[in-house]
Structure 1
C-alpha cells in the first residue's frame, strides 16, 4: 500500500511537469514567432501610414503652389486691368472727344482683357481639376499597391504561422509518444 500511495502523487507530479513543459515548448515555438509577426504587422502599418501622410503632404504642397501661382497671375492681371482702367478714366475727363474715341478703343481692350482673364481663370480651374484628378488617381494607385503589399506580407506571415503550427502539433505528438505511458506500445501489459 505504501508503494501505491507513493506512485499516485508521483504520477500527478509528472503530469504537472508535463503540462509546464508543454507550455514552455509552446512558448518557445510560438511566442517569438507571434511577437515577430506582431512587429512585422506594426512595421507595415507604420510604413503605410507614413506613405499616405507623405502623399497627402505632397498633394497639399502642390495644391498650395498651384493656388499661389494662379492667384498671382490673376492678381497681376487684375492690377494691370485696374491700372489701365484708371488711366482711361483720367484721359477721358481731360481730352473730351479725342479721349472718347480712345475710351471706346480701351473699352474694347478691356473686354478682351476681361475675356482673357476669364479664359485664364477657366484654364487654371481646368488645370487644377485635371491635376487633382491625376493626384487622386496616383493616391488611389499608391494606396492599392500598399494594400496589395500589406495583404501579400500578411498572407505570407499567416502561411508561415500555419506551417509552424503544424510543426508544433507534430512535435507535441512526438513528445507524447516518447514519454513513458504516452505511446501506443506502452498500453500492452508486460509479460
Structure 2
C-alpha cells in the first residue's frame, strides 16, 4: 500500500480509479491501495456469525454518529487517527465485563445490604441492574445499582428481607451504549 503526503495531484482524492486503484483519506493522508477482491467462498457457520456481527456493528456505528450528541461522546474518546465511527464500532463489538468472584459473604437476607459490582467497558457502562432470586428462580427483588465516584463501582442496596438467602442467587446485569448485556450469576 502506498501513502502520499502533500501531493498536489492526489491531495483529497478518494474512490475507485478504473479497476485497479482505491484512494482513501485517513488522518489527513491520501492512501492508495489495490482494489479489494471479491471473495468467493463457502463460509462456515462461525464465519457467517462473525460477518453478521460485523454488519450489525457497522449499522450501530452509522446510527450512533448520525446522533450528534452520541457522536460527540464517541469523538471525545477517539484517539489520534480514530473517528467517532471507529470508537462506536469497537464499542458495539465489546460487551461490558463484570469482575469475577464477587464476595457476598456478608449477605444474610437483611434490608440495606450493599451488593457491589465492579464493571468495566471499553467505552461506557450505562446501567447495572441487580436481581435476587430464590432457589426456584422466583424473583425476590430487583433494581438499578448506583454508579459510585470510582466509575467502575456500582452499588445496589437491598430492599426486601430474604429469610431464604442461603439458597438464593444474586444476578448482576451490565449494559453499555449499544445495549450489549453481560450477566453474572452468583449462587449463595
Higher Cα radius of gyration:
1
More strand by share: 2
User: Using CA pairs below 8 Å that are at least 6 residues apart, which structure has the higher relative contact order?
Assistant: 1
Task: Give yes or no for TM over 0.5.
Answer: no
**What interval of TM-score do these two structures reach, taking the shorter chain for normalisation?**
under 0.3
